[in-house]
Amino acid sequence: MTVLFLLFVIPLTVLLFLEIKEVNRRIDFTQKERMGAEVNRSLIRLMEHLLHHRGMMVAYLTGEASFKTDIENEHSRIATEIEAIELLSKRYGPSLKIEERWEDFKKEWQKLEFTENTLTIEESSGTHTKIIDNTIELISYIGETSNLILDPHITTYYLMDSITIHLPKLIDSLGQSRVLGVMAAISHKITPENKRRLTVLTGSIKYSMVEAEVRVKKAILRDPGIIVPLEGAINELDAKVNSFIGIIDNKIIDAPEIKVNEGAYYMDATEALNSAFKLYDAVYPSLDDLLQARISWYQTEKVFFIAIPLSIFAIFLYLFTAFARNTVSLGIARDNLRYQVEFEKLVASISTRFVNTSNGNSVSVMSDALQKIGEFVHVDTCYVSLFSSDGLKIDTLYEWCSEGIEPQKDVYTQLPVDKLPWATRKLKNFESLNIASLEDLPPEAGAEKAIWQATGVNSMLIISLGYHGTAIGFLGFNSIRIERKWTEQEISLLRIVGEFFVSIFEREKAEAALERLSVTDHLTQIFNRLKFENVLETEIQRARRHSRTFSLIMFDVDHFKKINDSFGHEAGDNVLRKLARIVSVHIRTIDVFARWGGEEFVILVLETHVEDAKSFAEKLRRDIESTSFYSGSLTCSFGVTEYCKTDDASTIIKRADEALYEAKSNGRNLVCVQ
């Protein structure tokens, strides 16, 4: 009996020791997450003061001497935050591996402190921006070294993602917008490059705000207990940031003249920044409380495992008879835990690559991700398919097949959704399809069964992909060689992969929209001056290389000021919109039509000599004259010129402008050539 007792107790004791060791590992893992969150919170506080310091220095260097005292106060606040982070670096530095990066940061700041009064506005703003970028990079780095980006629980993962990735980007974009706007308000003008940067920044602000809010709201749905501290902060962020974006659009980017008061603009920008910091301050305690609760649970679990040996000795006979069963159960649990940890590492690596991927590289990211996921979960094919914009067709964008398996991408290429009515209905209701055998399909899935049997599928898992409450496609996994069924654990983890894929799609759409916005005139929706100047330079170089020609037409509205004075600026805007539509109808696809400024427009007529360009301008003049506008009849004056071999952009534009002036001087509603 003693031998049997030892044979029973020793292996079980070893297993309990391993379980306690695993619990200790999870406690250490989560404690490290709390360390990272604590250091990042102090870095955000430091970033807040760096942003204020940058804004004040820009104002001070432009002659606002009243900011001197405020700048000195910010120096003191920054020094206080640096001292606090210094203590955290000494305490957590070896665990988080941040000592070297932190020392580099302090050197950069000390160098700026020493030279700040000798720098130009551009140099000061650029140096500040570099230091702030390094702060954001350090926050992201700590997210990796502290295990935050590896967090295995969905609620805390969403909170972590909002304060480690999206809120810092939002704060940085707001800070840069504040500096550019203040510079424009002080000088009452803005360069085309700064206007383009400000346009891109407003798009980045909207994208980062939406992504941060979506993640916090998803965390609230998973754990409604955190709604009280977070809901008000989300609403305030939404209101303040949208108000600030409206000021940028209406008073700087789209304003014919910049008349915004720099002090009022600075305060509006600061309120938007403060609302982002308030959301961060609301999310951090919720995240920390959830991490601490998890540690408490692990510690309870640890006590439980310690208490088991005592119970073993008290009820030896019972444990002896149940030994085999418990051993198997513990082995399965350990295997499941190991599987989850390995899967989470894989998901984290995909997430990290996604975060660091630039626009245009999504194909390689998606292909690599599908291969890694497919090989890990041991399937024969996996793929990503999207619904068309009208929701009537399915198109497979990406597919991976294991060795020896024929691609099935053609099955879902431009496939009408009515070919898969049962599956489409389920997926658009965000239901996953876990099909262990096609024979298990319900009678109403007859159409699906026929298509899937034709491709040789035995089992499949299909996960719906959604964005902002709308199903946009699905992530599919097919087993062709054998039948299998996916566990809830696997499905839950694969849903996170699906969310990463959705983020790739939406980020590409957002960046494409930003690019369109930067080259489009807000009022008329045709190209803006910046885009036209770039195209003109390109066409001049092409004409020189290939001995080609083109003509330039410049025209404006006659007596446009009278329209504004008589009917109001809104009527004037309507006139410009309608005029742009009239001209656009006649523009060839190879030509370029843009708003030059105010009521002035330009047309680049490619492969066209001046005589034909004059005829084209004359046709436009007659069409405009014969069209009825809200303000009554309308006429335009045109200047036309042709490219010469000695021309650069300034000379050909000047010649077209002189021709336009000649048309104005000779009575308007004319076409003149130079």
- Tell me the three state secondary structure of residue 520: strand
CA distance 670 to 621: 8
Burial class (CB in 10 A: 0-12, 13-18, 19+), 649: middle
Burial profile 345-380: b = 16 or more Cβ within 10 angstroms, e = fewer = ebbbebbeebeebeeeebeebbeebbebbbeebebb
Whole-angstrom Cα distance, residue 571 to residue 407?
58
Whole-angstrom CA distances from 221 to 158, 224, 435 are 11, 6, 28
**Strands lying side by side in the sheet with 550-557:** 592-597, 600-606, 550-557, 636-642, 671-673
Sheet with 470-479: list strands edge to edge: 415-416, 393-401, 381-387, 470-479, 459-467, 433-435
Please report which residue ranges of 384-473 form alpha helices under DSSP H: 421-428, 446-454
Catalytic residue at 599? yes
Closest CA to 159 of 234, 217, 96, 205: 217
What is the Cα–Cα distance from 406 to 457, expressed in whole angstroms?
Answer: 12
Q: One of 19, 539, 599, 642 is an active-site residue; which one?
A: 599
Cα–Cα distance measured from residue 388 to residue 473, given in angstroms and rounded to the nearest whole number: 9
In the structure encoding, which two tokens stand for residue 335, read together?
């295997």
CA angle 581, 583, 584 (to 5 degrees): 60
What residues are paired with 479 via a beta bridge?
Answer: 459
CA–CA dist 610, 612 (Å, integer): 6
Active site residues: 599
